[in-house]
Amino acid sequence: MDRRLFWTTSSQSIYCLHNYALVFLISAFFLLFSFTYNEAVFGQGDNYLFIKKWGKAGEGNGEFDRPHDIDLNPSEKLLYIADTSNHRIQVFDTNGTFVDSWGSKGDGDGKFNQPIGVSIDASGNVWVADKDNHRIQVFDRDGKFIKKWGTEGTDDGKFNEPKHLVVDDARNIVYVADTKNNRVQVFDTDGKFIKKWGTEGEGEGRFNDPEHIAVDSNGTAYVTDAENHNVQQFTLKE
């Protein structure tokens, strides 16, 4: 199993570490990095070893404008990155070599307006939270459009700036962080609405900008509740 860890940063770079990375926020003004000739050097230790980074600000292949999310297709060893403000998905191999990209700004099929969340299912399909188009789009591994659903609104199956999604392959369902509606919506993999939970607030099961979701093998959902500064855990009722 590929045990490297990949993540995006606001400096338009993709970082890669072996095994585990610990990054500590010292204060509101200092981030614990060592810098040598303007290149970030992570302290060497038993738990991590810096491998490489790639990317810079720009619009060309391998360049980024505020990349927000990343997911790995382990069977193909391909990384899919939501290059958010370039309104596209970029694809790289795990060595950082550019492979492909698709998307441009717009609201047609295969076009994006701030794609911010990306998730790869067991078949290699690419699911994208198209935030400012208030919808979900699905593509095959090569970027061919498959389907979409959602428009702006508060009704079931509608969204207000969805920021993340995750596919639960074992149960053939999709969880979407419907961020500005302060709720989680659940769909089958055809996009049919199943259920929802959450309203704006601070109590249990209430949210203030839920932004990311993870689901474990038991179907337990974990939601980062950004403006309430907490993580909430749920089990989906039958």
pLDDT digits (tens, 9 = 90+) for 2-59: 556 666 665 676 656 554 333 333 333 333 344 443 444 445 556 789 999 999 999 9
Q: Where are the domains of the chain?
A: 155-238
Q: How many CA atoms lie within 13 A of 23 on its CB side?
A: 15
Q: Cα separation of 128 and 107, whole Å?
A: 14
Q: How many CA atoms lie within 13 A of 206 on its CB side?
A: 7
pLDDT in tens, 163-213: 999 999 999 999 999 999 999 999 999 999 999 999 999 999 999 999 999
CATH 2.40.10.500 fits 155-238, yes or no: yes
The percent of residues in the chain predicted with pLDDT above 90, rounded, is 78
pLDDT in tens, 111-136: 999 999 999 999 999 999 999 999 99
Instruction: Say what the pTM is.
Output: 0.83
pLDDT for position 33: 40
Please name every residue paired with 17 in a beta bridge, in sequence order, or none if there are none.
5, 50
